[in-house]
């Protein structure tokens, strides 16, 4: 079993829809959780960064962490074609330590 599981997709939704992306993990030591967006042939771009359980909102993006269930989510509201990318969840026991990544979910927003 992988430490971090993420549905690889691909996921296609119409423009304006709410997108839900999820990851599960097995290592209870993970405390810091991140979501990255990666466009083709580019490095990952940090979207959300959360510590421990709870919700965090930034514009159209909301990150949720449920440590009791070892489950994290990223919600994208009012999705736009520019949101089409691969989304990677990542986590670590410490904020600046090496990350453990999910496999990434490829998302396409259809205009």
Which one of residues 1, 29, 43, 111 is an interface residue with another protein (CB under 8 A)? 43
Contact assessment for residue 26 and residue 3, using Cβ atoms and an 8 Å cutoff: yes
Binding to another protein, residues 44-103 (CB under 8 A): 44-46, 49, 88, 90, 95-96, 98-99, 101-103
Q: How far is the CB of 52 from another protein (least distance, A)?
A: 13
Taking CB under 8 A as the criterion, which residues in 1-30 touch another protein? none
What whole-number distance in Å separates Cα of residue 108 and Cα of residue 111? 10
Per-residue b or e along 43-76, where b marks 16 or more CB atoms closer than 10 Å to that residue's CB? ebeebbebeeeeeeeeeebbbbbeeeebebbbbb
| Candidates 13-21, 35-43, 60-68, 73-81; binding stretch for another protein (CB under 8 A) | 35-43
Whether residue 90 contacts residue 105, with contact meaning beta carbons closer than 8 Å, is answered with no
- Give the residues lining the site for another protein (CB under 8 A): 32, 34, 36, 41-46, 49, 88, 90, 95-96, 98-99, 101-104
């Amino acid at each position: 079993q992988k430490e971090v599981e993420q549905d690889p997709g691909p996921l296609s939704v119409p423009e304006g829809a709410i997108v839900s992306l999820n990851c599960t993990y097995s290592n209870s030591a993970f405390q810091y959780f991140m979501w990255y967006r990666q466009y083709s042939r580019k490095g990952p771009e940090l979207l959300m960064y959360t510590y421990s359980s709870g919700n965090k909102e930034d514009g159209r993006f909301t990150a949720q962490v449920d440590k009791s269930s070892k489950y994290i989510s990223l919600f994208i509201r009012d999705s736009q074609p520019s949101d089409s990318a691969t989304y990677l969840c990542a986590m670590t026991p410490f904020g600046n330590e090496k990350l453990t990544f999910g496999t990434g979910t490829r998302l396409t927003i259809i205009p």
